[in-house]
Amino acid sequence: MEQVKDKFDRPLRDIRISLTDQCNFRCSYCMPAEIFGADYPFLPKEKYLTFAEIVRIVQAAAELGVEKIRLTGGEPLLRKHLSELVHDLYTKTSIKDIALTTNGVLLPKYATALKAAGLQRVNISMDALDDRVFKEMNGRAVGVKAVLKGIEAAKAAGLGIKINMVVKKGINDHQILPMAEHFKKEGIPLRFIEFMDVGSTNGWQLSSVVSKKEIIRLISSQFPIESVKGSYYGEVASRFQYQDGSGEFGVISSVTESFCSTCTRARVSADGKLYTCLFSAKGHDLKPVLRSSDSIKEVKEHIAAIWNQRIDRYSDERTEETAKNRPKIEMSYIGG
């Protein structure tokens, strides 16, 4: 197995694959309802990569040193027959670390089948425990109970679980401690995410960011904590454990503390474009090589050539001005 590296000597180890650009929420973070309304022109389903094409991408990526695959969206559980894709990824590629990012609402229906197919873990998006705040942020009349039922279903199925909370100042920052306390009791790792300027539609401004330092200061005022050493190269969350042994939380700080220098992650959109940065404006279309030949070698060489030329350092270079004016792909299209 070869290992491909970019111009800054960053290896490719993690690929996130978006299965659909649609979602059953209209979250203010990545799909604000005033833009992504009922008439929004989402991708027609015939534009999506087929499951067979996704498997070939992953087979090629594994030969380049990729160790992790995460299936994302939109909402990936809206993609029909998803457990069949997970089974094929688990049995036809060498990658066994297969995860899913979801809002959790459909997990009671699918968690058991996904676990049986080879899914290892789920990252569930949940931005508040307070029902009013949660509904305000997801843009729909979907309450907290629906997500909590999804978490229980994932737990019952034997899936590993992490919770992701995007924190916006003045919107849900008062939910930091209730969320920390709840998932501390549950023994489920919680990841706080600084509100990022993903896409061009979420109304991002620096004044809406609750920093990593603020989050840590708030939690440590309530619970004794200590830092935890990173478990692998390229880990994006700064991790902390509760001193009473009841679990851990983490903070993803790409606004206030960039981790560009160790970024090992690429993303593939639902229609087959490879993005080498979450903040990219343009992707590299993989469909021509996928559809002109059955050769895994050609797909591998194409991905390697793209990654080898990678010079992305957006979070290192971000200013409030560039964040507002630089075009970026939407989160719902590229996946989290």
70 is in an annotated binding site: yes
265 is in an annotated binding site: yes
23 is in an annotated binding site: yes
28 is in an annotated binding site: no
184 is in an annotated binding site: no
137 is in an annotated binding site: no
196 is in an annotated binding site: yes
74 is in an annotated binding site: yes
201 is in an annotated binding site: no
237 is in an annotated binding site: no
101 is in an annotated binding site: yes
313 is in an annotated binding site: no
16 is in an annotated binding site: yes
Q: What's the per-residue H, E or C state across the chain?
A: CCCCECCCCCECCEEEEECCCCCCCCCCCCCCCCCCCCCCCCCCHHHCCCHHHHHHHHHHHHHCCCCEEEEECCCHHHCCCHHHHHHHHHHHCCCCEEEEEECCCCHHHHHHHHHHHCCCEEEEECCCCCHHHHHHHHCCCCCHHHHHHHHHHHHHHCCEEEEEEEEECCCCHHHHHHHHHHHHHHCCCEEEEECCCCCCCCCCCHHHECCHHHHHHHHHCCCCEEEECCCCCCCCEEEEEECCCCCEEEEECCCCCCCHHHCCEEEECCCCEEECCCCCCCCEECHHHHHHCCCHHHHHHHHHHHHHCCCCCHHHHCCHHHHHHCCCCCHHHHCC
Distance CA 134, CA 171 (A): 10
Q: What are phi and psi of 99, to 5 degrees?
A: -125, 170
The tokens for 24 are: 């059953």
Binding residue numbers = 16, 23, 27, 29-30, 70, 74, 101, 125, 162, 196, 260, 263, 265-267, 277
Binding residue numbers for GTP = 16, 70, 101, 162, 265-267
Binding residue numbers for S-adenosyl-L-methionine = 29, 74, 125, 196
Binding residue numbers for [4Fe-4S] cluster = 23, 27, 30, 260, 263, 277
